[in-house]
Amino acid sequence: MLFATCNVSSTFESLWGIVDGTHHRAIAVPKSVTPVNLTLGQSAWLYAATSLAQGGTAGSAKDFADSAMSRIANSLRWRVVGDSSAQIKQ
């Protein structure tokens, strides 16, 4: 899952049961806690989803979204919580 805007805290992590060190599952969240333009968040999600659909990992999907977003809005970056090597089962 990719969240366009959120405050990652213990409450947020407990909703999903995913924390740093969780195996086989991951979420992507903004590195910044500042508000994210949801149109830009949607664009990042499309890039990340494309990478995952092509067999990429959560980490490579985040990198692909970051790269694409650097050409659109160079301050918007993501981080992976959980297992950055997690993939969608094919």
Across 12-41, average pLDDT = 84
Arithmetic mean of pLDDT over the chain: 86
Residue at 42 is within a domain = yes
| Structural domain for 24, as ranges | 10-82
Residue at 31 is within a domain = yes
**What's the confidence (pLDDT) of residue 52?**
95
Residue at 62 is within a domain = yes
pLDDT reading at 57 higher than 90: yes
Band (pLDDT 50/70/90 cuts) for residue 84 is: very high
More confident of the two residues 1 and 32: 32
For the stretch 40-53, pLDDT in tens is: 888 889 999 999 99
Residue at 5 is within a domain = no
A 10 A CB-CB count for 78 gives: 25
Residue at 89 is within a domain = no
**What's the confidence (pLDDT) of residue 39?**
86
